[in-house]
Every structure is written in C-alpha cells, then in structure tokens.
Amino acid sequence: MPSLLVHCCCVHCSAYSLKFWRQQGFQVTAFWYNPNIHPYAEHQLRLEAIKTLLSSTGIPVVMSPSYDTDRYFNTSGTESRCERCYQMRLEATATCAQENGYDGFTSSLLISPKQQHDRLACIGIEAADRHKVRFYYADLRKRYSDSRILTKAQALYRQQYCGCAHSKHQQNGGQTAN
C-alpha cells in the first residue's frame, strides 16, 4: 500500500481529506506544520482538535518540532502572502515525505473553497520535483461541507478565520490586501 503524508491545516479541512486519501488506497499519515496560525493559543486549539480527530481514526501524526513563526513572519509580507505561506508549508511537507520515505504528499488545503488551487497545485508540483517525491492533487472543494459535518458531529473546535494574523484582521472587519 503506498504511503501518503497529508499536510493538515485544520480539523475542518482535514477530516474529509484524510478519509478521502484512505479510500484511495493510501496508508495515510497526518503532518502538522502551520507557523502561519496566529496567535499561538489559536495554533494550539487547532492542534488539539487534530489530535482528537486522529485519536478516533488510528491515523498517525508527524509534528514539526517547531512553531517557526519567526521564519513565517520573515517570509510572508502582505504581497503574495498566501503564496509564500503555501510554499513554506508544502516545502516542509515535501521535505518530511522525502526524508521519511513516503511515496507522496498532499495537503488538506485542497478541500477549502477559499484557497488558490492553481497556486497550490503548482507549488506542490515544484516541491515534489525538488524532493523527488510525488505530489497528489485532488480538487475536494465540493466535499468541504462534508468535512465540516464530520467535525461538527464530533464537537471539534471550529475556527472563525483562515489562520494568519492577516485573515484574523479581515475576519474582525479590517481590510488587508491579499
């Protein structure tokens, strides 16, 4: 059975994504690396929700040893911030996949209708080429509500914004260019 490392951005996006890739015949492992999630308390709430979800599925998790916010803030200005965030997280996932012998990698970001799928796919393929590991793309946006239903049924934490300080500012009524 081929092994797949799935970058998990939050429990909303991860619940159905992990289920989908298992149904495709992969031995799935979750990967947690999200230095974009701000503040730290929010990061921890999302991490605990992922751990709770995974404890009921038997899916193992690999966690980055560092929250890495300094690197995130040093590389993600307001211009193209989402793209740089994708690059940082998918690069870390590809590196982990290569170093640990996974057959491929993907991201739960691919279920979100709010993400830039064309950019995610390009960045994933570029990271895969650099690390000699396959990037798996599936447009799961039509299943986003299924994932939210799964997390609601389990009473898992439901965040109100994408994760970064910019998206939190926007959610609170501020205007930040993307």
Residue ranges at the known binding site for [4Fe-4S] cluster: 9-10, 82, 85
Which secondary structure element, helix H or strand E, spans residue 163, and what is its range?
Answer: none
CA dist 163 and 36 (Å) reads: 6
Spatial separation of the C-alpha atoms in residues 10 and 89, rounded to whole Å: 13
Per DSSP, the three-state class of 7 is: strand
Residue 71 three-state SS: helix
Tokens of 16: 């159905």
Element (H, E) at 171: helix 165-171
* Closest C-alpha to 90, from 141, 126, 140: 126
